[in-house]
Structure 1
């Protein structure tokens, strides 16, 4: 798949990509590349202090960013039984998780996606991607590819082809320790 190769190459070179998620188009980049994350935040006009979500093909891809031992045993079933799926969990961040991902927090929001394009992309890249909705901060999320290309196309290194999933809302975000819903 030539398009996927272009997207993977863009990620390796520090580019910002767009890709379909369960409900909306997402913006993504290599979470370990500070310059790429800063470029993504500049496109979105989002402050770094807010933190970002990581999206992955499986939980093991998230382990470098999460303090797995700090997840209470009684919370683990609820978290892991929701994945792969459409719920992002705020988990304790590992000591090595970059501040450009966690922002002002000592936690990090993560999701193991069930979306086949996200699964394929994260598997092929071998690690999670930053995931935030493709839109300017405070604007509605983009669900139409033509609108994506028109509003953000010139700022992106590549767009991963594929359909959106069937969800009507961006992923719910829940705090794993308190159980509170951060975003419904």
Structure 2
């Protein structure tokens, strides 16, 4: 069962710890991101990923984006990556560029979807950075909406979409501001440099 619904600022260590406990218990949380409110979970929890797909009514074939506080947190995901491919990562992270990185076997099936790459980004959003640091690793980050609907822009909207009345409870709702961006991150293919979302 989901835990209580703590709200916290990035400076509230007790509430941050409560949200991290929810993540470690295989729950989905709602949190502010760079441009919209998002849903996050442990990318290595099959139960959490399955719940996330159900909550969003998302096609599992699409996969999801994984964010980290630093490139060091992505070390297992980047193992065996050719050295030449590191340069674009180092010059664009942290920042609003999501790279499709060849999967080395680290990405669970529901993270990768029907792709041979995994979508990775080192976030520059302070709240997401704090969450990833407290959790001790990367987190799934996807917009807080049902498939085909507009994303939540506030905690209240996230609760209205995913609260108990809709049958899908959130483990926590993280208080804090959005990052001030007006559009989602770019998505680029690391091997070719091709831009898939401007």
Same-fold call, TM cutoff 0.5? yes
In structure 2, what is the Cα distance between the partners aligned to 1:63 and 1:26? 24
Match of 2:3 in 1: none
Partner residue of 1:114 out of 118, 124, 134? 124
Alignment map for 1:103-142 (pairs within 5 Å): 103-142=113-152
Query: What TM-score do the two structures reach when normalised by structure 2?
Result: 0.87
Match of 2:64 in 1: 52
Deviation of residue 3 (structure 1)?
2.0
Partner residue of 1:24 out of 36, 41, 60? 36
* Equivalences, count: 182
Distance 1:85-1:65 versus aligned 2 partners, 3 A rule: same
Q: Secondary structure at the match of 1:88?
A: strand
Q: Is the CA contact (8 Å cut-off) linking 1:72 and 1:177 kept in structure 2?
A: no
Alignment map for 1:132-171 (pairs within 5 Å): 132-154=142-164, 155-171=169-185
Unaligned runs of 5+ in 2: 1-11
In structure 2, what is the Cα distance between the partners aligned to 1:71 and 1:37? 29
Moved over 4 A (4+): none
In structure 2, what is the Cα distance between the partners aligned to 1:153 and 1:84? 31
Deviation of residue 71 (structure 1)?
4.0
Query: What TM-score do the two structures reach when normalised by structure 1?
Result: 0.93
In structure 2, what is the Cα distance between the partners aligned to 1:45 and 1:140? 13
Unaligned runs of 5+ in 1: none
CA deviations over 1:41-98 (Å, ceiling 9, x no partner): 11010121111110000112122233x433460x422222111111110001112321
